[in-house]
Amino acid sequence: MRDDPRLRELPLAIGGQADQRGVIATCNYVARKFGVRSAMPTSQALKRCPDLVVMRPNMEKYRLASRKILDIYRDYTELVEPLSLDEAYLDVSSAKQLHGSATRIAQEIRQRVFADVGITVSAGVAPNKFLAKIASDWNKPDGMYVILPEQVEGFVKQLEVARLFGVGKVTANKLHQLGIRTCEDLLQWSLPDLLKQFGKLGASLFSLCRGIDERAVVSSHARKSVSIEETYTHDLLDFQHCIAELPVLYASLQKQVERTGSANLIHKLNIKIRFNDFKQTTVECRANQLDQQVFADLLQIGYQRKQLPVRLIGLGISLCEEKNDEQLPLF
């Protein structure tokens, strides 16, 4: 839309082709009015919006824009925690620019991104990560919402529990069955009762419904896994067809491992299979290096669980923490 203004008023999506089992990666707000959304099969999106324009992704263009935006963020703080190509947390509590005003910093960042990169961004300003994330979604697109410390209690009470971090469809349904629809409802529950109903998630629910989130903004995260996967245009009918695809998948994973420099950190190998009934299974084992035969064994174990045609196969590795032989100080 930035590069071709003619697309701005059209329902537009980025994703794969319908005849190749493509899915929607993202879409504009015109398309969303028709019910199109991310992760929806392209074929279904076209049924909801027959005039939908579907374009292939251009990852290099997105990476370039993302790098420019991150450079702007880092003009204000080094505490930038990227969540994806287009989303990040910023801790500006120690920033000197604009007299340390988080609201004014957010406004200036939005203006600079539009001027330098040519796209709009939305921002949320709040005392913690949970509330900032909620606030960033409040006035989309191209908006900003500020939650002051004295407004936290009143703001959180009105939130639906489905918007809480860690609450998916299953947990939301369970909360609704218990008569809990808003954070104000959740406030009536004690910590022991929430722990009994939801396990360790109960402790998170107890804090979040009070607007409490102690997570720090972390500027970098250690990579925990590397994986690749392939969705097939036509189902792989049996195990022999699946195993025939393994060399290509394995070569692709090898390239990813080499690119990320993670060969010496391998802790586990795993395989993911999605059958044509959309049910998925995973198999893993401990290992300290790539081994195509081990993946073949895992593939056979996974396939035997259902023995149905296969629409997706994924290979991956889990990583241990990076080895550090340096002697650490005692204090």
pLDDT at site 324: 56
Residue 3 known to bind ligand:
yes
CATH architecture of 59-121: 2-Layer Sandwich (3.30)
Name the residues annotated as catalytic: 87
Tokens linked to 159: 């939130």
pLDDT at site 330: 75
Q: What is the pTM of this model?
A: 0.72
What span, in angstroms and rounded, lies between the C-alpha atoms of 14 and 24?
Answer: 6
Token pair 């629910």 in the structure block, residue: 205
What kind of fold does domain 152-208 have according to CATH?
DNA polymerase; domain 1 (1.10.150)
pLDDT at site 18: 86
pLDDT at site 262: 87
Delimit the domains of the chain by residue range: 5-55, 59-121, 152-208, 225-319
What kind of fold does domain 5-55 have according to CATH?
MutS, DNA mismatch repair protein, domain I (3.40.1170)
CATH architecture of 225-319: 2-Layer Sandwich (3.30)
Q: Show Cβ contacts of residue 243 under 8 Å, excluding neighbours closer than 6 positions.
A: 296, 299, 300
pLDDT tens for the 331 residues of the chain, in order: 999 999 999 999 999 888 888 899 999 999 999 999 998 999 999 999 999 999 999 988 999 999 999 999 999 999 999 988 889 999 999 999 999 999 999 999 999 999 999 999 999 999 999 999 999 999 888 899 999 999 999 999 999 999 998 898 899 999 999 999 999 999 999 999 999 999 999 999 999 999 999 999 988 777 789 999 998 888 999 999 999 999 999 999 999 999 888 898 999 999 999 999 989 999 999 999 999 999 999 999 999 999 999 999 999 999 987 655 566 677 7
Do the two domains 59-121 and 225-319 of this chain adopt the same fold? no
The neighbouring-strand residues paired with 90 are 80
pLDDT at site 323: 56
Q: Show Cβ contacts of residue 24 under 8 Å, excluding neighbours closer than 6 positions.
A: 13, 14, 15, 36, 37, 38, 39, 40, 41, 42, 45, 54
Residue 19 known to bind ligand:
no
Rounded alpha-carbon distances, angstroms, from residue 313 to 102, 194, 272: 45, 38, 6
